[in-house]
Amino acid sequence: MTFLELIQKRYSVRGYKPDPVEEDKLQQVLEAARLAPTAGNRQRFQLIVVHAEGREEELRRIYGRDWFAQSPVVICACRYPMDPARQRKDYTDVDIGIVVDHLILAAAELGLGTCWIGAFDPAAAREVLGLPDEVEPVVFTPLGYPADPPRPKQRKPLSELVRYEHW
Ligand SMILES: Cc1cc2nc3c(=O)[nH]c(=O)nc-3n(C[C@H](O)[C@H](O)[C@H](O)COP(=O)(O)O)c2cc1C
């Protein structure tokens, strides 16, 4: 599979089989996240892996869709606050976007489904995951074998997204 085929293949999976995620596949997607570039190579993020079995109610508090709590694994990407002494612009959210995209694409290559979740309840996430005050949950994704079929991609044409040489 080429990279372009992989990004065609990935879609937001909103239905998961109960089959567990093999530990070696979990470690491969985490390794893909670890290798992501970050501004100044600061790596100011943490990933929290939650095995959903027995924690379904807690996960439902974080994000209320059934398919979220039904996936066997949920991963939360968290950020540390910006270090103002070292950075003029705070790129930590950009870093986390790249980290999670690595993770999600590696998962797709392994046949695993994911879905970016930004519309979660941050207070519930803090409580359920026991986050320290200075750590902020940025995005979640379920991780598991897809139980819903891919949909055609809805995207604007390049002509609406790209300008050449000037605005
Ligand atoms: C930062 C971000 C946050 C998102 N938050 C949610 C969410 O809370 N719930 C959800 O179902 N999908 C969420 N999505 C998924 C988008 O709706 C989805 O990526 C988009 O519609 C394109 O569809 P595709 O991923 O299937 O290609 C989010 C995507 C991104 C990038």
94-112 confidence digits (pLDDT tens): 999 999 999 999 999 999 9
Mean pLDDT on 36-63 = 97
Sign, CA torsion 165/156/65/53: negative
Residue 57 token pair? 């109610």
Cα–Cα distances (Å) from 3 to 10, 31, 108, in that order, read 11, 18, 11
Binned at pLDDT 50, 70 and 90, residue 83 comes out as confident
Cα-to-centroid distance, 61 and ligand 1 (Å): 19
Under CATH, which architecture does the 3-160 domain have?
A: 3-Layer(aba) Sandwich (3.40)
DSSP label at residue 134: T
Q: Does 87 have pLDDT greater than 70?
A: no
The residue contributing the CA closest to ligand 1 atom 30 is 116
Angle between helix 23-34 and helix 92-109 axes, rounded to 10 deg: 140
Q: Which residue has 């930590």 as its token pair?
A: 92
* Domain locations along the chain: 3-160
Residue 44 token pair? 């100011």
